[in-house]
Amino acid sequence: MDDALVRSLSTGLSQKGVRDHNERLLLSLLQRHGSLPAPDLARLSSLSPPTISAILRKLESDGLLQRGKPLRGKVGKPSVPMMLAPDGVFAIGIKIGRRSADFLLTDFTGGIRLHRQLTYAHPLPREVFAFVQDGLAAAAAELPERDLARICGIGIAAPFDLWNWHDLTGPPAAEFQSWKDVDFARELARFTDLPVSVINDATAACQAEHLYGRGKQFRDYAYFFVGAFVGGGIVLNNSVYEGRQGNAGALGSLRSIGPNGESRQLVDRASIHTLETRLRNAGHNPIVLWQDPASWADLADLVAPWLDQTGQELAKASLSTCAVIDFEAIVIDGAFPPFIRSSLVDKVRSAIQCEDTRGLILPVIESGSIGNDARALGAACSPILAQFLLNSN
């Protein structure tokens, strides 16, 4: 590994790339709509045409925007739509999960330029940070030299209290517990000068869905991501709401009831770790769920009852969530193949019809569209949002 090459991923756009409000507004409109001509941007932003033209020229000169094909109307000159330039900004997203870690290099439009994955029985800091360092070296080698300075930062998505769940013994158990004291920015500063931000993994997944997936269709919605542990996110007024301490949308902590009437949380009843237990009890190695998507179909006899239970639990959790905020939609995604996601959404739609919904306006139940990459992709969104886009929350 070339340490100098990794260190060359410097602060890049982290300072000069911070845009003013009107620039962020136009970039956000183009991110949401894909491409728009100047008159449409003026109408949506309430900025004057001369102001729009000046900002667009500056953003194009900075390499953040590119021109689309002229739109020919019935009269006058054809209008030229503007759109985000994919190579205008790059970001790195890292997901540290309980069963795998992912490293993504993404562009300004959410395109994935590099994807590396590490699977494990338990995440240990030493292995994970070595994986990240290798990923940074690969990213430095992937991009042309002219684009390296356009990497705006690193986002890390990880569960809160990552150290709270494990079955290790001996020295590895002590290393696992050391996650409690890990300072991600300090650890990464050993081999890169890029700015680092940390976000809850399920909130990151929600961010990815909102920017690049089905979330663009809704103003206010709740989002469930079913991973090893189920989590969630909240979108209000077209922006992901992280909360005072970054823990808004901790939907895995919603109340549930165990098989013997005991008080439990949703995380105990609607997570993939409960399916892992089913597989383990039946003599299967649950690691196949993370390494081989086809295994979900091969293990249908064990997956089916898990889907039934998870669908019922998510239906109840959806109604509980909508009792607090009048969400128009519930969006469901997870670390499983698309056909499992579709089946789960169908089961939630069916189960919610059997629940007591008095006093509630039922939300629509929709599938997410990003899948397993959502948490790492959402992590990469963090530095892009901080420097280039608007957040109404």
Asked if residue 209 lies in contact with residue 331, where contact means CB atoms within 8 angstroms, the answer is yes
Give the closest residue to 222 by CA, choosing from 106, 348, 113: 348
Strand partners, 67: 82
C-alpha–C-alpha distance, residues 31 and 85, integer Å: 10
Give the closest residue to 103 by CA, choosing from 134, 80, 76: 134
Q: Quick one: tokens of 280?
A: 């383990």
Q: Quick one: tokens of 205?
A: 């997944």
Question: Tokens 């940074």 appear where?
Answer: 136
The Cβ of residue 50 has, within 10 Å, a number of other Cβ atoms equal to 9
Determine the pLDDT at residue 180. Answer: 86
Q: Is 370 helix (H, G, I), strand (E, B) or coil?
A: coil
Asked if residue 182 lies in contact with residue 125, where contact means CB atoms within 8 angstroms, the answer is yes
pLDDT in tens, the chain (393 residues): 455 555 555 544 444 445 789 999 999 999 999 999 999 999 999 999 999 999 999 999 999 999 988 877 656 667 889 999 999 999 999 999 988 999 999 999 999 999 999 988 888 899 999 999 999 999 999 899 889 999 999 999 998 877 776 666 677 777 878 888 899 999 999 999 999 999 999 999 999 999 999 998 999 999 999 999 999 999 999 999 999 888 899 999 999 998 888 999 999 999 999 999 999 999 999 999 998 999 999 999 999 999 999 999 999 999 999 999 999 999 999 999 999 999 999 999 999 999 999 999 999 999 999 999 999 999 999 999 999 998 766
C-alpha–C-alpha distance, residues 342 and 339, integer Å: 5
Domain architecture of the chain: domains with CATH: 3-12+87-204+376-388 (3.30.420.40), 14-84 (1.10.10.10), 214-369 (3.30.420.40)
Sheet holding 82-84, edge to edge: 35-36, 82-84, 65-67
C-alpha–C-alpha distance, residues 231 and 270, integer Å: 10
Asked if residue 232 lies in contact with residue 334, where contact means CB atoms within 8 angstroms, the answer is no
Determine the pLDDT at residue 156. Answer: 97
What torsion, rounded to 10 degrees, do the Cα atoms 317, 319, 322, 323 define? -110
Determine the pLDDT at residue 11. Answer: 46
Q: Kind and range of the H or E element at 269?
A: helix 266-269
Determine the pLDDT at residue 99. Answer: 86
The Cβ of residue 301 has, within 10 Å, a number of other Cβ atoms equal to 9
